[in-house]
């Protein structure tokens, strides 16, 4: 698939979802391009396409990464969220375990290091472009939205399940 075909696949999935939902407040909105000039240049240098999406009052970043070798690898869609403020990750076992367990299936933490500190700045997931349809896209957005809420609430407000206790009994 060429660059325009990759974008077309995403647009088709969003249109299919929005046609099926038929409720204005539930539709997926997308704007192609980057909000950051530096990120736009970086995406362009690797022939990636970027978009900003919104669904159910959650903002998502979408990045289509074409395969470096289509005979071996698939083209991918990287979806991510960003917390309002990066959250410092305390490095005790219970906090790290509970933070990781707060992620939904197939979602990961977006982390940055600042000196000796580690900050969680959001969550992300990756899909193969050829597998993207309305259901898989809606599922990925739902998992990201849930993971973002759970992780951010756990780190910022100390709210959420104590997975450590549930697993270890401590």
Q: How high is the mean pLDDT of the chain?
A: 89
Q: What is the pLDDT of residues 42-90, one digit of tens each?
A: 777 777 899 999 999 999 999 998 888 888 888 999 999 999 999 999 9
In a domain, 85, yes or no: yes
**The CATH number of the domain where 57 resides is what?**
3.30.1460
In a domain, 14, yes or no: yes
In a domain, 36, yes or no: yes
Residue 70: name the closest of 1, 153, 23, 144 by CA. Answer: 1
In a domain, 165, yes or no: no
DSSP 125: E
Determine contact, residues 78/62, Cβ cutoff 8 Å: yes
In a domain, 106, yes or no: yes
Determine contact, residues 67/73, Cβ cutoff 8 Å: yes
Q: Which domain holds residue 122?
A: 3-158
Count other Cβ atoms within 10 Å, centred on residue 168: 11
pTM: 0.87
Q: How many domains does the chain have?
A: 1
In a domain, 104, yes or no: yes
In a domain, 28, yes or no: yes
In a domain, 22, yes or no: yes
pLDDT over 70, % of the chain: 97
């Amino acid at each position: 698939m060429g660059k325009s075909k990759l974008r077309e696949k995403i647009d088709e999935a969003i249109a299919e979802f929005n046609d099926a939902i038929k409720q204005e407040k539930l539709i997926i909105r997308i704007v192609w391009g980057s909000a950051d000039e530096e990120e736009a240049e970086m995406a362009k240098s690797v022939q990636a396409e970027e978009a900003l999406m919104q669904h159910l009052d959650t903002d998502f970043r979408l990045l289509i990464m074409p395969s470096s070798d289509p005979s071996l690898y698939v083209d991918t869609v990287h979806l991510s969220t960003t917390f309002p403020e990066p959250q410092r990750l305390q490095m005790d076992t219970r906090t790290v375990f509970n933070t990781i367990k707060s992620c939904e299936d197939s979602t990961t933490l977006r982390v940055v290091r600042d000196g000796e500190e580690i900050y969680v700045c959001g969550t992300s997931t990756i899909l193969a472009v050829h597998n993207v349809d309305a259901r898989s896209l809606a599922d990925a957005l739902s998992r990201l939205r849930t993971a973002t809420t759970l992780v951010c609430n756990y780190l910022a407000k100390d709210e959420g399940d104590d997975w450590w206790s549930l697993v270890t009994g401590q």
